[in-house]
Amino acid sequence: MARAVTLAESTRPEDREQIDQILDEIVARKPASSIRVGISGAPGAGKSTLIESLGRHLLDLGHRVAVLAVDPSSGRSGGSILGDKTRMPTLSTSTEAFVRPSPAGRSLGGVARATGAGVLLCEAAGFDVILVETVGVGQSETAVSDITDLFLLLIAPAAGDDLQGIKRGVMELADLIAVTKHDGDLKTIAETTASAYAGALSLLRPKHGGYQVQTHMVSGLDGSGITELWEQIRSTHERMASSGLLDSIRAAQNETAFWAELMANVQDAHIEAAANDRSLGELVELVSRGSRHPRSAAREFWDRTH
């Protein structure tokens, strides 16, 4: 019986070789291009609810949808806070959808690299819309935008016209913004929030020349705005494809991923070398006591092991 292989960082060398071979075969086959969308938002912004609603719409349109996640906390918890299947009842049970929580990994970089490979595997398996979710904290948005074509930033309605501490850098990654929970009592607040964001966006340089970032209002609960949001994603993606922008984005992403993989190999080799070096402990001890400078100590260790 075939043994399942995983993309985790701890993979055995022979499994790694098999995975590399599969990935190379997929790349050589050039599977039909899919739409890769990164989705981020602060905890509780309504990501899971929106993905379920958008995913249902996509299934109705005849798409096959994969939902992957990059969870920056999985390195610590060993589990995933995302991919909560209870909030995605249709997607988690449909045969035309695939929901996969974040892979475990030592580092955010490792998790993102494994998810990048996951995107390819899903495309080879015939999924033509790939949604990659991440929670809006820290560096994970950058990691997700490095493996997707378009980045959708979700914002929960908030009273007042402040930008809720969303970092400018994250806003600059967004290709689209959607204010969630545009329903019931929150409707008016969602509208105020949306116009505050639209105003702020008009002051930012668009991410790609000629592609103005649009602010949408959606409700994952009642489904309003979902059709329009998808239409915007689809038409923007189509324009990116026909202008050649998509090809250049993916080419740059492949290059970035190559360097990241190379760096990971270098790092792994050193961690391995360090684990076998008894004097390393003494060096760390000297550094932590303040008897040696981290820079000179690291240099000494490097020179000795090369």
Ligand X SMILES: Nc1nc2c(ncn2[C@@H]2O[C@H](COP(=O)(O)OP(=O)(O)OP(=O)(O)O)[C@@H](O)[C@H]2O)c(=O)[nH]1
Residues near ligand X (CB under 6 A): 41, 43-49, 82, 87, 135, 180-181, 183-184, 186, 219-221
- Which whole-number Å values give the CA distances from 234 to 57, 126, 231, 252, in the listed order? 13, 18, 5, 21
Residue 4 CA, distance from chain mean position: 24
Compute how many residues bind Mg ion; rule: CB under 5 A: 2
Q: Between residue 44 and residue 103, which ones bind Mg ion under the rule CB under 5 A?
A: 47-48
The nearer residue to ligand X, 87 or 270, going by C-beta atoms, is 87
> CA–CA separation, 218 vs 181, rounded Å?
6
Which option in ligand X, Mg ion, none does residue 43 bind, with CB closer than 5 to 8 A by kind? ligand X
Comparison of 122 and 156: residue with beta carbon closer to ligand X:
156
Token duo for residue 283: 């060096």
Point out which span in 42-50, 110-118, 173-181, 188-196 binds Mg ion (CB under 5 A).
42-50
- 46 binds, options ligand X, Mg ion, none, Cβ within 5 to 8 A by partner type: ligand X
Q: Are 80 and 74 in contact (CB under 8 A)?
A: yes
Q: Which is nearer to ligand X, 221 or 260 (CB)?
A: 221
At 177, the amino acid letter reads I
Query: What order do you get walking across the sheet with 214-217 strand by strand?
Result: 97-99, 65-70, 129-135, 35-41, 150-155, 176-179, 214-217
Among the listed residues 228, 7, 4, the one whose alpha carbon sits nearest the alpha carbon of residue 115: 7
Tokens of 284: 């760390």
The residue among 186, 176, 148, 206 whose CA lies nearest residue 44 is: 186
Q: How far is the CB of 79 from Mg ion (least distance, A)?
A: 14
Report what 281 binds from ligand X, Mg ion, none; CB cut-off 5-8 Å by kind: none
Give least dist CB 295 to ligand X, A.
Answer: 39
Least distance CB 67 / Mg ion (angstroms)? 11
Work out how close the CB of 101 gets to Mg ion at its nearest, in angstroms, rounded to a whole number: 10
Give me the least distance between CB of 221 and ligand X, in Å please: 4
Q: Which residues bind Mg ion (CB under 5 A)?
A: 47-48
